Structure 1
Amino acid sequence: MLIVFSGLPGTGKTTIASALAREIGAVYLRIDSIEQAIRDAQVLMQDVGTSGYKVANALALSNLGLGHRVVVDCVNPVIESRNGWSEVAKRAGVSLVNIEVVCSDLQEHQRRVETRKGDIPGLVPPSWQSVMSHEYEPWLDTPFIIDTAQVSAPEAVAMITQECLAHAPQSTLPIALNNAGSRP
């Protein structure tokens, strides 16, 4: 199963995605970490562009091929990146669950962005202005939406776990998400 978290910075994606990955024993891929590692390698003449997503697509496909569940933490702002995840799931023959994390309380969202401490060395967290001007295209197919102004991270993990169970093939339901330590 491929579970892709999408949404603007500061909505709570990383908190929820990393907690879910721990809960279900999934491989966790964070685009911010991948992109910063590419920057740190100093091999590009320009910014990372789509390279972080391309690397994450390849890592996800490889891990799905090994039978692991994969949780991806990314902004996923455009149709091209969303289509990339769909293609990975299709090639791996697994279910794709798209989760969009939003924070409907703009004051709370702004507070989170402005008080956020960076946890990736070298990566400067975005400003509120950059978050508000970030390109983010509407979804063609509505994802499963989590509003972190309405639910806590543990509640969100429980809701997403139920959503994933609904998308799990019948043959994997007994082991899919109920036994976090086991692999499908």
Structure 2
Amino acid sequence: MLVVFSGLPGTGKTTIASDLANRTRAVYLRIDTIEQAIRNSGALAQDVGRSGYMVAYELALSNLRFGSTVIVDCVNPVIESRKAWSEIATRAGVPLVNIQVICSDKREHQRRVETREIDIPGLMPPTWKSVLDHEYEAWDNAPFNIDTALITPSDAVELISRRFLSGD
């Protein structure tokens, strides 16, 4: 199974996705980590563009073919990347679960962005303005939504586990 977490920075994607990966022992792919490693390598300019996603697609595909569940943590802001994740799931012959994480409480969302502790060395944290200005296209097919203004991360992990990973 391929589980793709999408949403703007500061909504709680990383907390939920990493906790779910830890709980299920799934392969965890975080686009921020991949992109920062590319920047650190000096192989590309600071703007890594699609490179991080391209690397993640191939890592996901290879791990899915080994039979692993793969959990991806990314903004996934455009239709192009969403279609690519669907194609990876199809090529691997596994189900795709799209989970969009939002925070409907704008003040809380802003607080999270502005007080975020960065756990990836060298990664520049987003500003609230950059989050507000971030490109984020509407979905063609509505994903499963988690609103972290209404549910705790641990409850979100439990809900997702029961709904998609319980094997029922």
Q: Same fold (TM over 0.5)?
A: yes
What residue number does 1:97 align with?
97
Matched, 1:83 2:71: no
Task: Give per-residue Cα distances to partners, 1:92-125, cap 9 Å, x unaligned.
Answer: 0000000000000000000000001111000011
Which residue of the partner structure matches residue 162 of structure 1? 162
In the alignment, residue 82 of structure 1 is paired with which amino acid?
Answer: R
Residue equivalent to 2:4:
4
Q: Distance in 1 between matches of 2:164 and 2:12?
A: 19
2:137 is aligned to 137
Q: CA RMSD in A?
A: 1.1
- Unpaired segments ≥5 residues, structure 1: 167-172, 175-184
What does the per-residue CA deviation read over 1:16-54, in whole Å, with 9 as the maximum and x for residues that have no partner? 000000111100000000000000001114611001000
1:28 equivalenced with 2:28 (yes/no): yes
2:125 is the alignment partner of 1:125 = yes
Structure 1 consecutive aligned stretches of length 4 or more whose deviation exceeds 2 Å? none
Identity of aligned residues (%): 66
Alpha-carbon distance in structure 2 between the residues aligned to 1:36 and 1:46: 9
**Counterpart-to-counterpart distance in 1, 2:132 and 2:163:** 29
Q: Deviations over 1:126-145 (max 9, x none)?
A: 00000000000000000000
- Offset, 1:162: 2.2
Q: Which has the larger radius of gyration?
A: 1
Q: Residue 57 in 1 paired to residue 57 in 2?
A: yes
Runs of at least 5 residues in structure 2 that lack an aligned partner in the other structure? none
Residues 3-22 of structure 1 show CA distances to partners (whole Å, capped at 9, x for unaligned) of 00000000000000000001
Q: Counterpart in 1 of 2:148?
A: 148
Cα offset, 1:165, TM superposition: 3.8
